[in-house]
Structure 1
Amino acid sequence: MIHVTSFQGLIMKHMRIPLKRVNDILLVLIVLINGYIILAPQLPKLEYWWQTRHGNKQQTLTKEIQAPATATTPTEQPNTLIVPAMLLKTPILEAPVKDTYKILDKGIWRWPLGSTPDKGGNTVLVGHRFTYTNPKGIFYYMDKVKVGDEIGITWKNKPYTYRVTSVREVPPTETSVTDQTTDDRLTMYTCTPLWNPKNRLVVVAQKEAN
């Protein structure tokens, strides 16, 4: 006859093996999750490093701004932003303010209370820089933009060229970046820094004569 204490000890002995496996699995998951949290914000930087040294996308986009293609059909093409320093060519999306978060998940959003390139004033474009669901946000490389860089916009089939005049960080309470202006400018902003996006990175560019 098996003693009760011996029986309990036998059960506990067999339970230790699966419990150890569970602990090992949990440890691996914790390491993987922590690794993703640390590495995810940095991975797009490796892509940028590779493309700027082994690709010609930046040069191609610069040429496209300086010698824009002439529309061969009357069909209206999507409004487009080109920023060579960011290796970026992307459509400019339109949506009401109530759909801000939904549209920002899809790309660059034009602040609807601002202006447009054809009307002058302050055209404001907003985009994510980094989220863990999309580590390479549309404005991830905005910190690569420098004063003097060219930016191109095609709006209603007409090209516009801008020259960067300032790059700065401001607190989120600084709402003047979206104010209308008497000069023709482009304002782009996103959250910064990557891990603790407590501020806004703002790029301002003046429109050049076409």
Structure 2
Amino acid sequence: MISVKIKRTKTTKDYLILGIALALLVGGGYLLITIFSPFFATQFIDPKNNETTKVLQKTTDEFHPENRIYIPAINVNIPYKTGGAEVLELTAWWRKPENGNPKEGGNFIIAAHRFQIGPTPQRTINNSPFYNINKLKVGDSITVDYNGKRYEYSIYDIYKVKPDAVEIEERTDQPRLTLYSCSLGGSFDKREVIIAVPK
């Protein structure tokens, strides 16, 4: 029996399928890199020597015109602002200013996204400033610039609450800083709460 080999040439359809497969592979890889960028960016943070600690060392005696929060243990250095929930898309949100601030005491409350995907890996990192809030420990330092003056806090309590636990935002008699963010499970899951007191 004679076998005949038919040489098949690549058609436009073959190239189209190959192009689509390649685009899906590259797009999927980019999406994975974008999603996991906050995780990878924070794996090698040295809590005693990072960008935030260097900024704090350089700016100790200066006037600080922008309201900012610094958390060296997780390399956070971001501004915070008042307003509505739209503030969270830009930076940290100073919740309920009437309940406290660093100068007058009370409960000074800052919230920020734990994870918020952006169009690029860097934007995802910037959108997720509290990604590592769960890595903070009792005794870690937090620095706040408020109306030109710098205030130092030390973490004394860490816990989780349900999303509707509004008591974490109530005014307190003693001065304190309350940080909170959603867990990685999302806004319907628990909230990670950090309580710090002035040093």
- Normalising by structure 1, what TM-score? 0.73
* Matching residue of 1:202: 193
**Equivalent residue for 2:3?**
none
The residue that corresponds to 1:22 in the other structure is 16
Shift of 1:59: 4.1
Cα deviation digits, residues 131-179 of structure 1 (max 9, x gap): 2213212222322311110111121122211110122232212222111
The 1:40/1:70 distance shift into structure 2, 3 A limit, reads closer
Alignment of 1:148-159 (within 5 A): 148-159=139-150
Percent of aligned positions with the same letter in both sequences?
Answer: 21
Question: Larger radius of gyration, structure 1 or 2?
Answer: 1
Q: Does the alignment pair 1:41 with 2:29?
A: no
Counterpart Cα distance in 2 of 1:17 and 1:119: 74
Partner of 2:103: 118
Q: Could you say which structure has the higher helix fraction?
A: 1
Supply the AA of the counterpart residue of 1:179: E
Q: Does 1:145 align with 2:139?
A: no
Conserved in 2, the CA contact under 8 Å of 1:160 and 1:207? yes
2:68 aligned with 1:80: yes
- The answer on 1:135 being equivalent to 2:124 is yes
Instruction: Note the C-alpha offset of 1:105.
Output: 1.5
| Structure 1 unmatched ranges of 5 or more | 1-12
Q: RCO greater where, 1 or 2, for CA within 8 Å and sep 6 or more?
A: 2
> For this pair of structures, how many residues does the alignment match?
183
What secondary structure, in the 3-state scheme, does the structure 2 residue paired with 1:140 have? coil
Q: Quick check: 2:96–2:169 contact (8 Å CA) kept in 1? A: no
1:160 to 131, 145, 151: 151
Higher strand fraction (1 or 2): 2
1: CA distance, partners of 2:179 / 2:73: 14
Shift of 1:32: 3.5
